[in-house]
Amino acid sequence: MLTSFLPSSPVKIDFELVGPEAIENSLAGTRQGEAPVVLEANFSSFDHPLEGDLPVKKHLPGAIQIHPSYLEAGTDQSKYYPYYSCPQDGNLLPFPELTAALERLGILPGRSVLVYGTEPDGTMAAARLIWGLLVAGVETIRLLDGGIGTWLACGGETVGTIRRAVEMAEANPAPPAVAASWTMRSDLLATTSEVREISRHPGAAPSKLVDVRKPGEYNGTLTRYYPFFSKAGHIPGAILQGDWINLMEAGTHKIGPALPGVRERWIDLGIIDRDVEEGRTTLTFHCGTGWRSSLSFLVATLLGYQARNFDDGFYGWSWNGSNPVSYVEPAEEALATEHEKA
């Protein structure tokens, strides 16, 4: 009997895209004491350098600059992407450590959070943060669609300095006096055993596995996408969505305008069908390390579908030598599966 990956009583995800006007209203509320947390998703490394000084010099007032790896390693920057030594380094912190790390930034389950991204990969970095916050149990999250570029284009107020998550956490190591009540959203996180079951029963399992990587990573020809592992290929049964950039509007990196086109493309690829539309089948997304697939998770959520993210990704899957890896094209794989059934 196949396991159902649908929650018995799905909990609504309070996540929305917003524009500059909503951010302005939230910042005004902050000044009046309502205090949502504003996070600047900042991602720069030797293989993804920042473009110019725009993200460094201009920030939203009151924001906290946070690297997505803060949710994976806390203040230990020696383990931040791309300095992973094993798949676990790229996974979310264990739940008690994750919530403690958030509390040190003033983030609590019932406190609303606003996220915006910076260049060059700000939307992906913001998506990774948002997915991690949702898994931790943060109840209300908004994303500035188009990130800092959208804010600057409308003449939004900026400041030249910003608080940084690592520095704040190191200065505030003690837990709050009153413990917060966190509830982990494990229904948003796919495990390796669940992915293995989906892979073994493509088309029959109550979830579809969707690969959010480049075609060369999928078919095994692109082996150096990451600096810390060189394996390529794909999890058998996974449907190739393609890389994360085709989930956004070209030029603006906005998610909202791209949603209708993404939905149509997903229908054409067989990612969306009636079972997905009617909530009987979940979409389980994966990439290399769980970052790009976080964006697919958010897109699916905005489209109204049940979705999860496989945090281990292909890095964790291929790390375990007992897990099968396929290198054939999707049509060839489907044909091979039919021959096996026969």
* 88-91-95 Cα angle (round to 5): 110
Residues 165 and 203 in one domain: no
- Domain harbouring 110, CATH code: 3.40.250.10
- Asked if residue 307 lies in contact with residue 295, where contact means CB atoms within 8 angstroms, the answer is no
Does 185 map to a domain?
Answer: no
Does 319 map to a domain?
Answer: yes
Long-range own/partner contacts, residues 165-168 (CB < 8 A, 24 or more apart): 165/64, 165/65, 165/66, 165/67, 165/70, 165/105, 166/67, 166/70, 166/75, 166/77, 168/64, 168/104, 168/105
Domain boundary among 171, 200, 216: 171
The predicted model scores a pTM of 0.90
Residues 103 and 227 in one domain: no
Residues 199 and 167 in one domain: no
Residues 159 and 203 in one domain: no
Residues 322 and 204 in one domain: yes
Residues 197 and 109 in one domain: no
Residues 114 and 232 in one domain: no
Does 182 map to a domain?
Answer: no
Does 176 map to a domain?
Answer: no
Residues 300 and 228 in one domain: yes
- Asked if residue 232 lies in contact with residue 217, where contact means CB atoms within 8 angstroms, the answer is yes
- What is the residue type of 13? I
Residues 237 and 281 in one domain: yes
Residues 158 and 257 in one domain: no
Domain count, the chain: 2
Residues 150 and 200 in one domain: no
Q: Residue 278: which domain range?
A: 191-341
Per-position pLDDT tens, the chain of length 342 = 344 444 444 568 999 999 999 888 877 765 555 678 999 999 865 445 554 444 457 899 999 999 999 999 999 999 999 999 999 999 999 999 999 999 999 999 999 999 999 877 899 999 999 999 999 999 999 999 999 999 999 999 999 999 999 999 999 887 666 678 999 999 999 999 999 999 999 877 799 999 999 999 999 999 888 989 888 999 999 999 999 999 999 999 999 999 999 999 999 999 999 999 999 999 999 999 999 999 999 999 999 999 999 999 999 999 999 999 999 765 555 444 443 443
